A = this chain, B = another copy of it.
């Protein structure tokens, strides 16, 4: 059960193709409009305020979007995993920066081509709008997350990540610093909270990047 599976679960290329085509992304036909590019760990994919001429889809690996405040604090907006689309804007510039968390393959699609396609096909336009709607919903949940206690935030994060994979074992592609900057906490608080959850047997931490949910009931209780 805890067989050390050295292959990260996110390394596989788009492991849920069916679901993605159905609700998560864009029609497959559209994927023909782009090229897949490799990105190294921590490599920038686009920067805040840059022209938003492309839309992106994670094929393998993982991506974080973020903004940096004047004094250096970094806030991560979202994590994107294989199958997720990111970088779609209604305005003409990106509102956040994006970086690869790990070695990633990213499908890049010209926005103008996508828009031309949407103009002819209402269903595509609808799909694009829904994508923005989903991002909005994500951001609204993020707001609610940030008013919770540290324990509640960490638990919510774990449940959110768990919801994106099958089973109770999560392989986190991101560092403690990334998690902290997503949750509005410090790495120390994230680490301490995880240790505490482990000590109450709610989770197991076979390694720092792997979390096993052992008691979802207890976790849900800690989720306010």
Contact = CB atoms under 8 A, between A and B. Distances in A.
B132 A90 contact: yes
A90 B140 contact: no
7 contacts: A67-B140, A90-B134, A91-B137, A119-B122, A125-B129, A128-B129, A139-B140
Nearest to A129: B129
Interface residues of A, number: 34
Interface string A191-224: 0000000000000000000000000000000001
A36 interface: no
A17 interface: no
Interface string A135-155: 111011011101110000000
Contact of A146 (B90, B96, B146): B146
A222 to B, nearest CB: 12
A28 B130 CA distance: 25
B147 A73 contact: yes
Interface in A151-198: 184
Interface string A70-83: 11010101000000
A9 interface: no
